[in-house]
Chain A
Amino acid sequence: MTENLAVSIVEPTIYDLSSPGRTGVTFPAPDVPKAELPQGLLRSDLPLPELGEVDVVRHYTNLSTFNYNVDNGLYPLGSCTMKYNPKINEDTARLPGFAFAHPLQPVETVQGNLVLMYQLQEWLKEISGFAAVTLQPAAGAHGELTGVLIMHAYHNSRGDIKRKKMLIPDSAHGTNPASSSMSGLEVVQIPSDGRGNLDLAALKAACDETVVGLMLTNPNTLGLFDEHLEEAIQIVHTCGGLVYGDGANLNALLGIIRPGDMGFDLMHFNLHKTFSTPHGGGGPGSGPVGVSEKLADFLPSPIIGIVEEGQDDRLPLYGFLSPAKSIGRIKSFNGHFGMFVRAYTYIAMHGAEGLREIAEYAVLNANYIKARLNGKYAIPYDRTCMHEFVVEGQWAAAPGVRALDIAKRLMDYEFHPPTNYFPLIVHEALMIEPTETENKATLDAFADALIKIAEEAKTQPELLKEAPHKTPFGRMDEVKAARDLVLCCWLPEVNE
């Protein structure tokens, strides 16, 4: 049997660590006369923990050591593009001119920020082949909602008001149908064919005058570039629908092909995937949306533009413009500006050739791991993949072992597992996206670990079923969490 090599290292909660009377920061005494406080509107108690600065710093430092992260090793989460996040980005985003600018400052005092945002819009347009870009959306899903609202508004503006259906492939991410239903649309699922492409016959059958459009991830979540992409787009356009691109997988396409050139009408970018802004343990992301000419008027308001042309030695003045038929504001202020600084820094360091190399090496790395795993894992759609691919995490010879067990066992080899159980169309899916920033030695070690695990699955399945063994924490009782619903470290008074 397996031995538990870990020692218990549970960190107390911030409330456990509290001791009355301590504080981690003090502020200057008031230098103005005290005003009378609004009696009757004051709170009676403030149940926050009381700690010194060192206690707080140690607590979070200890907690941080429980996290696997990109700076510690390969993080091959398919669909998430967990590439290395350049350190310089963190420095540029914190420059005082950026970090200490109020979002409502007069435009004359923030030309640096506006130039940066304008330039980023321009670069994203150039990279994607779209005519206009909004930087407002906060993440991929938020970009989708923006896109769906734009599509709907476009049809409505033409008096084409019976369009209520969104077509979504069965391989799509859950945010696509959720974004559609948030805007009151009906979701129609389109199956994939035997080669992992969209099933054209099914698509044709679903296309009629009630279709708002198609939401398509390309390369799709199998990591495959749809072999009939232009035809699929054509079919949707023929019935008057629009084609939305989920840009989660844009890393594979930088300098390879522009979605706008292929006929996509609009698409969101994920600056937190493709353009190296860190994921932050679950955000902040940033999900700008690019649109074709005919949708430009519907973008959220405002976008960044030149509000006064320059002349001779006078620079142009950058400011805010309101698109004529805008769907409105989708977020407060100016979007995730700090992420724009990081993405700008990243694009500036790459240029056209550098961006193309990113895609080339991302695709090289994925195909390399795929080649190394060939014969050891079932690969349901065995074609040249793009930046990621999906394997089945189950073998006939080891029927008790599931993708989840493989994922957990990988942790013992000091790797973060791939995405599991997505896309839903692959049985026991393990979706592997190494990204371009991993070297051959790392990829080999990862492939070796997966191959070893494939053997273990047959010879010592319990090693997988009980994994992980070497991590500070073992498998979780998820049922207990959902049943007990302890969501808070202290017990709030229930005032019903």
Chain B
Amino acid sequence: MTFIPHAPKERDAMLKTIGVKSLEDLFKDIPEKHRFPNLHLPKALTEMEAAAELGELALGNENIRTDLVCFLGAGAYNHYIPAAVDHILRRSEFSTAYTPYQPEISQGTLQATFEYQSLIAALTGMEVSNASHYDGATAVAEAVNMAFAQFRGKRTKVVLSPAVNPQYRAVVRTYTQDMGLSIEGDDPSAKLAPDPQTLIPLINDNTALVILQYPDFFGRIYDFTALVEAAHSQGALVCIAANPIALGLLKTPGEMGADIVAGEGQPLGIPLSYGGPYLGFFATRKKYIHKMAGRLVGETVDNRSQRAYVLTLTAREQHIKRERATSNICSNQGLMALAAAIYLALLGPQGLRQVAELCYHKAHYAAEKIAEVPGYSPGFATPFFHEFTIHCPKPVAEINAHLLEHGFLGGYDLGQDYPGLKDQMLLAVTEMNTKEEIDALVDVLAEVAHD
């Protein structure tokens, strides 16, 4: 299969205009020793054959739509995606455009991004949002860069809650490994405190940023207001990594005083797709935008006095500032941000609240039913949103293997990351799970406790 549209006659005419005899003549600058290697790749497929091969590969997976009932979350969630979302995303006007460097012919992308920024600001209770980051983990890592820059490198400590998603914590460590920062609080082997206030003694006048998650990795919800105030009293900034569906119901991090709200936007209309592409969202207060990473769309007018949009404050970015830029980010998650905008526009306040409440009620029903099964008990007594932990009577891997045999994708094995949480499982319940599925899960859990 080829996507090269040249007729042989046309190619020859072009070579003649250029003044060479053959295509090979165009490659004289390439060292001969290594020129034209023999690549060992499978024989080219036609589109028909490729469709069949990819179809086969896809069938090599058990998917959570037709094969498995999903109770797994841990940072990626199974939500319903209204049909209109993907129909709009598939429009090549959106999907095949580049970053909107030429605003006169990119107003579709620009206005949609401006609206995305507005929707994220509304959802998080913040003043400004950027155009996106790669995912929740890298958005949180960029929050560290921003805080570091805000204090001109003079504050060198980050207080990182151990209840932040282990993958986010890992990415923060990777990003900052050469920055000379110290990261404190992030000790998953310590006994997990029931209360985030225990982080307060770690915060001092050398702390640039405090990173929290809401709901936290275990699904727990706290009002962080007092913690944020304590951080502010030391002059530190606070980043709260939030679940956007939970924000359909819960008090916003903005209301709690957060300086940065970042997070994983996947729940907003983006398919699980084995981990990506997802969406990192990032919102902050207006006073920090000059230190914020990423693209930003602003409203303006064109020379015909029409309201229009452009990329603005670009002097923060790598193509202008080079080594002094706030970040190296260039391509971000444009199309995924569009998906989130469409999702939020479709659901509106009613729909989003409905989804959030469904998640909440179903998760609480499941938690209650599981706690009634002998051998299982709740991990924490704290209020939670749509994820919760349970003590299991057997190793989580064993229980999950049994669940899988019955067609369930069980919960996350917390012992992998938290030695103190051995035999504890993190389960997620969303609007996609019916009462029948939950009841059936409870039955299988009961069964596995016995044998």
Contacts and interface: CB of A to CB of B under 8 A. Distances in A.
B152 interface: no
Contacts of B167: 329, 332-333
A258 B286 contact: no
A464 B273 CA distance: 46
Given A26-B354, A109-B404, A360-B23, A487 B361 contact: no
B332 A283 contact: yes
A395 interface: no
A137 B339 CA distance: 21
B450 interface: no
B64 interface: yes
Contacts of B53: 348
Contacts of B420: none
B2 A350 contact: yes
A181 B358 CA distance: 46
Contacts of B96: 69-71, 75, 82, 85, 278-279
A461 interface: no
A116 B57 contact: yes
Contacts of B250: 38, 41-43
B29 A225 contact: yes
Interface string A34-48: 110110111110111
A488 B88 contact: no
A484 B28 CA distance: 53
A327 interface: yes
B98 A77 contact: yes
B298 to A, nearest CB: 4
A482 interface: yes
Interface residues of B, number: 213
Nearest to A352: B39
Contacts of A334: 274-276
A49 B97 CA distance: 26
A486 B320 CA distance: 22
Contacts of A474: 104, 302-304, 306
Q: How large is the interface on A (under 10, 10 to 19, 20 to 34, 35 or more residues)?
A: 35 or more
Interface stretch (B205-213, B321-329, B372-380): B321-329
A103 B431 CA distance: 19
A486 B6 contact: no
Contacts of A440: 6-7, 10, 13-14
B393 interface: no
Contact of B39 (A6, A64, A127, A282): A127
A67 B6 CA distance: 27
Interface stretch (A10-18, A202-210, A235-243, A305-313): A10-18
Given A104-B412, A436-B4, A477-B301, A258 B115 contact: no
B95 A261 contact: no
Contacts of B127: 488, 492, 494
Interface in A479-496: 480-482, 484-490, 492, 494-495
Interface string B99-125: 111111111110111110111011101
Contacts of A452: none
Interface stretch (B76-84, B154-162, B192-200): B76-84
Interface string B163-199: 0010110110111011110000000000000000000
A184 B68 CA distance: 46
Q: Ordered nearest first, which 9 A-B pairs have the shortest CB separation? A: A112-B60, A333-B275, A97-B58, A280-B335, A282-B334, A103-B275, A351-B44, A35-B364, A284-B277
20 contacts: A6-B304, A23-B347, A24-B347, A27-B80, A27-B354, A32-B438, A43-B251, A50-B349, A56-B345, A68-B106, A102-B272, A229-B31, A281-B113, A282-B332, A328-B173, A332-B165, A466-B303, A485-B286, A487-B114, A487-B286
